[in-house]
A and B are shown apart, each in its own frame.
Chain A
């Protein structure tokens, strides 16, 4: 498979997941802002921007600025609009490798965005969640399980780890935890699953444990890490007798085992720091994947009349 196409598929997976998760995070944040009387809007919104990686914004921060920067503004790299644009642009460049159904779904999502943006924020977020779910469903149902599929799943899983880590940070920073955790669980679609798993015992610690470590819940960090590892081992055609030769696989595997074997209290205590570390691991893994698979033999490049 062409490196460029593989890279496109990886990033289509990432951008779709980013749009989805950003919508979920914003949904939580805006609900907390409305419902929690004690919260300081400016501080909490600034924290959210920090968690989402917007660090060059100097103006006044309130719920409308985060809506603009993280949802509507296509020029802001971290916005839903930018993620959907980028996913569609990637799909357009890899159109011949996507199934027609998948391309049509991504194209229709992109075409529907302007209309969806004129709706109320909760409706916009629901629309984004539904659209990405539809795209993933169509991908699941129509894409052959070849290399391309593995890159797509890999991108999606790495992004999901990264974004769930950010979601957990948001929750732990979001003032009154009493309100934040159930909302966070709902944002992940995990509330009912959590209630069933823990028989109604609602606690911050349990909620964090569930989103971090539950092996059965597909949006938890551990499941997403495992999913990414599986995709990587399918890409690594030859089975290995011992250890892992692939850098990305090593990074992700180590992160997962650390989460699973360390005492939970230790992680929950410094949740924002731990989550930041996890995000750095994701970035490193993503770089390792692109160095190994996406840049084959780019030693010589032609620029303006000569080889470099």
Chain B
């Protein structure tokens, strides 16, 4: 019987560890822990190696500055219990619905301003607010077709929202490739669990995109719009197009004619009805935004305004995932849905508010300061790690433009055992569940992308900092029938009665404020910042 010593000297645990409760293994990890114990050190290392080489041959990569790099997948899965997932699932759905209502309001009647929930200037001064799309009513009312809500677990193991992504959230392709790669590496461990599948994501996404087609189109043509092969998330764009069976187009493949969007094919121009764009707003339509951009399609926004094409996600969504609006989301949930927020925010101070500013300026050396429109971790100052000069410079910047900053406590992310050189050790993780809104309901893909920071104590899980990912297993509730949207078949089975709705999540009763540590979690491959640099580099050539 081989022995496993890789778990010896596990630690140090700072914050919440998802496998160990003290020295006890939590029940959801019991079977995985036992399998690893029985496997032996050599076997574990061997399987990790074969996992890595299978990823390299398949070309599962992300791009950094035009260079392709492998995206490491850890051998130890992350496991989320059915009850915990129900909580996340209902919380994410609630949040997406509130954000949808908010966007409809901002680009429509603007009642949220009249009722004094959010100050009008907070939205109008956001760089992501685009007046050009106000008054455009999307065909099925959906603006956030795809979203990624970044979650962390605090010191008590409670899920908290760190950031909303309502523009072009990326990373779902790794969720889809991690699963088959890990099941090939750990077949016996998979057999011990009932894990909810993830491969149905493409089918649900395609259904939602088709549902968003302009009215009167019975068999819509859906395309995925990519900035091109040099984009950091190009791998994902090809995977989504391939698994949905739709064309992957670049801006130069599309052309607008009489308010319609057409694609250039070998048989001439053919109409396009729904565009799942993986391109930032600013590059989408050079007639409306950067005139120098050659990645977009001139006339696209006007075609959308005429109701002839649906852009998913909608233009102007950036006001909903602005870091300043983030602080208002709990109020938006109460205002639009009349419910208490299920998932709580991380405590945040707005520096635009004079009282809060005074408090933050007093404690600058113990907080994390983030610019509201900075993305991909740009411009963040971590108080405890900053020098006196840096803090003074920061003070000056805050005085000049307080609206541009928010402050958060330092949050200690939860840890999950991860195979590193020294053995299996706690490493910090976050979670990005992906939600698809088809207009009738919001579907949350069970699991989502878990990013893990591989260096010891590192809180930034970004892949360009040596971050990796983990396959995320959501365990199926044995007492519940399978979610019909989980099945990978083309036709959901009609004879499953009462399987539509899951039970509502437990209310979040914990109201006490917990001191937590912070880390900024930039995007895995496609930080908005990176996309931008990438697109500019590419656009600059022509």
Contacts and interface: CB of A to CB of B under 8 A. Distances in A.
Interface of A: 1-6, 89, 92-93, 95-96, 100, 103-104, 107-108, 147, 235, 293-298, 300, 302-307
A104 B253 contact: no
B241 A1 contact: no
Nearest to B257: A297
Contacts of A296: 264-269
B515 to A, nearest CB: 48
A104 B59 contact: yes
Given A92-B229, A96-B238, A307-B298, A3 B291 contact: no
B250 interface: yes
A93 B255 contact: no
A154 B267 CA distance: 17
Given A96-B238, A103-B59, A303-B542, A1 B266 contact: yes
Contacts of B262: 297
B265 A1 contact: yes
A84 to B, nearest CB: 16
A297 B266 contact: no
B298 A4 contact: no
A304 B291 contact: yes
A3 B249 CA distance: 10
7 contacts: A95-B238, A96-B248, A104-B59, A297-B255, A297-B268, A300-B255, A302-B298
A3 B294 contact: no
Contact of B253 (A3, A92, A147, A305): A3
B252 A96 contact: no
Nearest to A294: B266
Contacts of A298: 264
A2 B265 contact: yes
Contact of A2 (B234, B238, B264, B294): B264
B265 A302 contact: no
Contacts of A92: 229, 234
B58 A104 contact: yes
Contact of B269 (A1, A297, A305): A297
Interface string B228-250: 11000010011101100001111
B265 A304 contact: no
Given A297-B268, A297-B269, A4 B250 contact: yes
A100 B262 CA distance: 28
A295 B242 CA distance: 24
A207 to B, nearest CB: 39
Contacts of B242: 95-96
B266 A93 contact: no
Given A6-B266, A92-B234, A297-B264, 12 more contacts: A2-B249, A2-B266, A3-B264, A92-B229, A96-B237, A96-B238, A108-B57, A296-B267, A297-B255, A297-B262, A302-B294, A304-B292
Contacts of A108: 57
Contacts of B238: 95-96
A293 B268 CA distance: 8
B286 interface: yes
B213 to A, nearest CB: 20
Given A4-B264, A92-B229, A96-B248, A305 B59 contact: no
Nearest to B241: A96
B294 A4 contact: no
Contacts, number: 73
Interface string B412-439: 0000000000000000000000000000
A305 to B, nearest CB: 3
Contacts of B542: 303
B202 to A, nearest CB: 12
Contacts of A5: 247
A17 B166 CA distance: 46
A305 B286 contact: yes
B252 A4 contact: yes
A293 to B, nearest CB: 4
B263 interface: yes
Nearest to B58: A104
A137 to B, nearest CB: 18
Q: When A and B form their complex, which 10 residue pairs have the shortest distance between CB atoms, in order from nearest?
A: A305-B291, A96-B241, A96-B242, A95-B238, A96-B238, A293-B266, A296-B264, A3-B264, A302-B298, A96-B248
Contacts of A305: 286, 291-292
A107 B59 contact: yes
Contact of B265 (A3, A104, A107): A3
B57 A104 contact: yes
Contacts of A147: 266
Contacts of A95: 238, 242
A306 B291 CA distance: 8
A4 B248 CA distance: 10
A307 B263 CA distance: 17
B209 to A, nearest CB: 16
A107 B298 CA distance: 34
A284 B354 CA distance: 73
A302 B59 CA distance: 33
Contact of A303 (B59, B253, B294): B294
Nearest to A304: B292
A296 B294 CA distance: 18
Contacts of A93: 228-229
Interface in B458-483: none
B49 to A, nearest CB: 18
Contacts of B250: 4
Nearest to A108: B57
B1 to A, nearest CB: 38
Contacts of A294: 266
A4 B253 contact: yes
A89 B229 CA distance: 9
A304 B249 CA distance: 21
A3 B268 CA distance: 9
A89 B265 CA distance: 21
A104 B54 CA distance: 11
A2 B269 contact: no
Contacts of A304: 291-292
Contacts of B292: 304-305
A97 B234 CA distance: 14
B251 to A, nearest CB: 9
A95 B226 CA distance: 13
A246 to B, nearest CB: 13
A235 B267 CA distance: 10
